[in-house]
Structure 1
Amino acid sequence: MFNRRLVLASLAGLSFLTTSAFAQDWKAKYPELVFAIIPAENASGVTERYTPFVNYLSKELGIKVSLRIANDYAAIIEGQRSGSIHIASYGPASFARAVTAGVKVEPFAIETGIDGSKGYHSVLWVKKDASYQKIEDLKGKNLCLVDPNSTSGNNVPRFAMNKLGIDPDKFFGKVVYAGSHENAVIGVQQGTCDAAFNWWNDEQESNLLRMDRKKMVKAEDFRMIFKSEQIVNSPIAYLAALPADLKKSIRDAVYNVHTRDKAAFDKIYEGKQGPLVPVDVEAYKPVIELIKFVDTLRKKSGS
């Protein structure tokens, strides 16, 4: 006599064994994953901020996850191209650069604001007591940018200045790539630069406020003279070649870190941002087009 319950139980058992086998397959191939972060601040600050998060990922995935702090944005891109970086936290422009360079990566999570917004701005800081009121007042002065692949620290500023008819490499006395958002602000503080572009979410959170909380500078010593239109927030991307079940496990861990390990999540964002939520490459198509446009500007100016 046909025993339906026995057949269903056998199929369920087979499904469990198959799923477990697949999980063991990817764990055998990927006994360790590398999570890399762009250098928005000094290395010790990044390590302190992200170590609890990678420890959380290790626990959730059941394998070792290592933190790598890249020397610059290009190192993240090349690390994912070579396959030595499995998961990376990008800026929008550096992710767009990876895509245009043919790196096989997929964005899967995006940062959000406390209000649920998915964007931020590029702003230009000068010293509070400086006479400058707008970008045009800085002719012949020194400008601090962040990195060639920084969204708010280079690409959006160059696009905005082009709209004003300004070629930065001819308009300013000197254009300095500071290497990080923090270094750009310090450049203004120390007088190396007269102005610096930086990221700014809203009145409650920005790189400047973060530096103030770390007692690196006083936010009240600076004044904003430019704010861009909203830029889509930063993504986290993994290698397209990773197994589907591993990607699913990564997504599940990242989307739920704000509840499963609130302390690790708050260590990164200090209670100033909302949860990480799903995203795909469509959200970054405007930034990809921006990168192509900025490349055209560079070729025209010969920089």
Structure 2
Amino acid sequence: MPHTTRRRSLFSLLAGALLAWGSAAQAQQVLRVTTIPEEAATEQVRKFTPLAQYLEKQLGVKVEFTPVSDYPAAVEALVNKKVDLVWFGGFTHVQAQLRSGGKIVPIAQREEDTQFRSVFIAKTDSGIKSLADMKGKQVSFGSQSSTSGHLMPRSNLLAAGINPEKDFRRIAYSGAHDATIASVVSGKVDAAALDITVWRKFVAENRVDTKAVDVFFTTPPFFNYNWSVHADMPADLRQRITKALLDLSPATPEGAEILRLNRATRYIPTQAENYKGLEAAGRSAGLL
């Protein structure tokens, strides 16, 4: 075989091997997804598994959803690129931005997240009817890193002239919104603050008796949750994930189910500037 022919043959074999390797690598690509544990791990899996299956079909890659133990773990996972896509609360997004030196990109949020609220709840026979009535009481927040379960409730308390560390008899951190509700129902604490959408879900599913425990204060609106990726993710993949989220429609059975589980009417684009107010609130509250 002539030298030139042998060289072409070798080149063809090498090109074929590289192509096969590239196809195999692509086939083995895994999109790793997690969320802040705003509710129990079993509930997180129930809520987000259908979305993971949808993304798998839309992107043509394997999608793995893995719950994490606490809010800081979700932050560290994306900052250190242990996962590719995270459902953050507004404040955990801010924490991840600061930890990463501005390398976190929010790509989509629920329409509800543009006007989000926290609620304060107490037993209806507790005598607690206002924020001022919480003085001297035992109070629970959610995770210390929660936007709607801690940061914004604390900001509203401070604005009302109430210092939780000085004015409450005891402060507890439940770790998750469902646990927060349970702490009031069981009488472990007198009052608590949490995500309004989790509260509404519990009420709609008859998992809490509003004659016994109910809302006595609702905060003004703020920006909250989003899906975020690391800035080092290839732009094409980021765009395809964003499109898949924005394309979810309540008009299809699959879209309607995913949106229902995610407590969303639809997903819309978002941007880092939306969360600057939460960063300012975090600094004012001494949490950053």
Q: Distance in 2 between matches of 1:217 and 1:234?
A: 24
Q: Does 1:175 align with 2:171?
A: yes
Distance 1:91 1:25, change over 3 A: farther
Aligned to 1:274: 265
CA distance in 2, matches of 1:217, 1:92: 26
CA distance 1:58–1:272, shift in 2 (3 Å) = closer
Q: Secondary structure at the match of 1:258?
A: coil
- The partner residue of 1:152 within 148, 153, 168 is 148
Distance 2:203 2:174 in 1: 19
Q: Distance in 2 between matches of 1:277 and 1:143?
A: 35
- Over 3 Å counting, the alpha-carbon distance change for 1:157 and 1:25 in structure 2 is farther
Q: Which residue of 2 aligns with 1:197?
A: 193
- Aligned pair partner of 1:46 in 44, 47, 55: 44
Unmatched 5+ stretches in structure 2: 1-18
1:34 & 1:271 partners in 2: Cα distance? 18
Q: CA separation in 2, counterparts of 1:199 and 1:106? A: 23
The amino acid across from 2:109 in the alignment is I
Which residue is 1:13 aligned to? none
Q: Deviations over 1:4-25 (max 9, x none)?
A: xxxxxxxxxxxxxxxxx9xx68
| Match in the other structure for 1:102 | 100
Q: Is the 8 A contact 1:208 1:219 kept in 2?
A: no
Contact 1:52 1:264 in 2 (8 A): no
Report the equivalent of 1:3: none
Q: Say whether the 8 Å CA contact 2:34–2:85 is kept in structure 1.
A: yes
1:28 deviates by 3.4
Q: Which range moved further: 101-110 or 247-256? A: 101-110
1:265, distance to aligned residue in structure 2 (A): 4.7
CA, structure 1 residues 255+26, in 2 after alignment: closer, same or farther (shift >3 Å)? farther
Query: Partner of 2:100: helix, strand, or coil?
Result: coil
Deviations 1:194-219 (A, max 9, x none): 0010112xxxxx31231234443224
Q: Is the 8 A contact 1:169 1:175 kept in 2?
A: yes
The 5 A counterparts of 1:217-296 are 217-258=208-249, 262-270=253-261, 273-295=264-286
Secondary structure of the residue that 1:155 maps to in structure 2? Answer: helix
Percentage of identical aligned residues: 24
Hey, which of these two has a bigger chunk of strand by percent? 1
2:128 to 112, 132, 156: 132
What CA deviation, in whole Å up to 9, does each residue of 1:146-194 have, x standing for no partner?
Answer: 0111111111122111122221012111100001001011000000010
Residue number in structure 1 paired with 2:65: 67
Q: CA contact under 8 A between 2:28 and 2:62: conserved in structure 1?
A: no
Q: Equivalent residue of 2:33, what SS?
A: strand
User: Counterpart amino acid of 2:142?
Assistant: V
Kindly report the root-mean-square deviation, in angstroms, between the aligned alpha carbons of the 2 structures.
2.4
What residue identity is the alignment partner of 2:111?
T
Decide whether the 8 Å contact of 2:142 with 2:176 is kept in 1. yes
Shift in Å, 1:290: 1.4
Displacement of 1:268 after TM fit? 4.7
25-34 vs 143-152, greater mean Cα deviation: 25-34
Deviations 1:128-150 (A, max 9, x none): 22211112112221101001111
Equivalent positions of 1:28-47 (< 5 A) are 28=26, 31-47=29-45
Relative to structure 1, the CA distance from residue 37 to residue 87 in structure 2 (aligned partners, 3 Å threshold; closer, same or farther) is same
Q: Normalising to structure 1: TM-score of the pair?
A: 0.81
Match of 1:209 among 200, 209, 214: 200
1:221 Cα deviation from its structure 2 partner? 2.7
- The answer to which of 189-198 and 61-70 deviates more is 61-70
In 2: Cα distance, 1:70 partner to 1:272 partner: 20
Q: What per-residue deviation string (whole Å, max 9, x for no partner) do you get for residues 26-57 of structure 1? A: 96397001111111211111111111110110
The residue number in structure 2 matching 1:121 is: 117
Provide the TM-score with structure 2 as the length reference. 0.85
For residues 267 and 218 of structure 1, what CA distance do their matches in structure 2 show? 27
Give the number of equivalent residue pairs: 267
